[in-house]
Amino acid sequence: MEIRQLRYFVTVARTRHFGQAAERLHMNQSPLSQAIRQLESQIGATLFTRTTRKVDLTPAGEALLRDALRILESVGSAQERVQQIAEGRSGLVRVGSTGLAAYKQLPQLARIVAREAPGIVLKFVPDLLTPASESALTEDRIDVALLRPPVSRTGLVTRPIAREKLVAAVPDRHRLAGAGPVGLGELRDEPFVVYAAKESVVASAVTEACLAAGFLPHRAHEVAETSVMLTLVAAGLGIALLPESVLALRIEGVRFVGIADDASVDLALAWRADDDAPAIRTLVSALEDNGFVSPTDTPPTALDPVPGGHR
């Protein structure tokens, strides 16, 4: 039994007329009648009672019609799903990201995809440092990543998302809480709460910025997660320097103060250069069209310093 035969059968069953069915199918009546006879021979049952005036379904034909309609609907749905995937209008995209991007950039990305490509399903894998994101990409465990460049592995494409100024997170009773942008030199005697991972791009950027200001930060506490870092800051155990996307968080007992120095970290979108999945192309194109990522690898311009006193 072929799909073509079922379509012929359903058309005859709906019109109850071989001539009209042939016209709808854009074919001659003779090959249509022959195809129905072949179908009846394959099934081993008569599907139609034929007279000179009308064509009626037999009980066997009624039963086949119900199944044929269901089968053709399933085939049509399958064809539509495959076409959507082939055209990039549907599919699963696994998105890895740094921890802080989950609070600001990931929601932006999700809103753009939901609006521009609603057939694409996103699966998020958060809290990945850049080396972990690179490994996950090259090992095909994620499809795209929001990470902190530079990347060290070959075979990856990156597009800038933002250049984020560093801001200081201080206890709400700190001497600098509520102040305007401060120079890093004013923080030289402060205890710092920092990321423990040596491969953290943010931790490296903080150290380099402090060294440029003439001091090595005192690493009073080392943590793995931003939430723990801000908890220690709120407890008065130190200060922290973080990308300004942290401003999306509201932590009781923490104030954010802008940094006057030129200290920043980049955020970029990365994916495998050899990944030709249509859904990936659609996602990247939608993000470019909506200004979420740059269409080239030119670094973005740093945003203005964050005013003091933001919570």
The answer to whether residue 192 scores a pLDDT higher than 50 is yes
CATH classification of 164-264 is 3.40.190.10, yes or no?
A: yes
Residue 296 vs residue 268, higher pLDDT: 268
Determine the pLDDT at residue 303.
Answer: 43
- Domain ranges across the chain: 3-86, 91-161+266-289, 164-264
In sequence order, the β-bridge partners of residue 156 are 272
Cα–Cα distance between 91 and 110 in angstroms, integer?
14
Mean pLDDT computed over 141-149: 95
Same fold, 3-86 and 91-161+266-289: no
pTM: 0.68
Rounded Cα–Cα distance for residues 18 and 179 (Å): 86
The DSSP string of 257-301 is: EEB-S--EEEEEEEEETT---HHHHHHHHHHHHTTSS-SSSPPPP
CA-based radius of gyration for the chain? 31
Calpha distance 28→33 (Å, rounded) = 9
pLDDT score, position 164: 94
Distance CA 255, CA 175 (A): 11
Helix (H, G, I), strand (E, B) or coil at 195: strand
Write down the pLDDT at residue 175: 93
- Residue range 91-161+266-289 in CATH 3.40.190.10: yes
User: Hey, which residues does 123 pair with through a beta bridge?
Assistant: 94
Torsion of the alpha carbons at 110, 124, 159 and 165, rounded to the nearest 10: 80
DSSP result, 95-111: EEE-TGGGTTHHHHHHH
Rounded Cα distance between 281 and 129, Å, is 24
3-class SS at 70? helix
Q: Are 267 and 105 in contact (CB under 8 A)?
A: yes
| Structure-token pair, residue 119 | 């057939």
**Which class in CATH covers the domain with range 3-86?**
mainly alpha
In percent, how much of the chain has pLDDT > 70?
91
d(CA 168, CA 37): 82
More confident residue, 306 or 94: 94
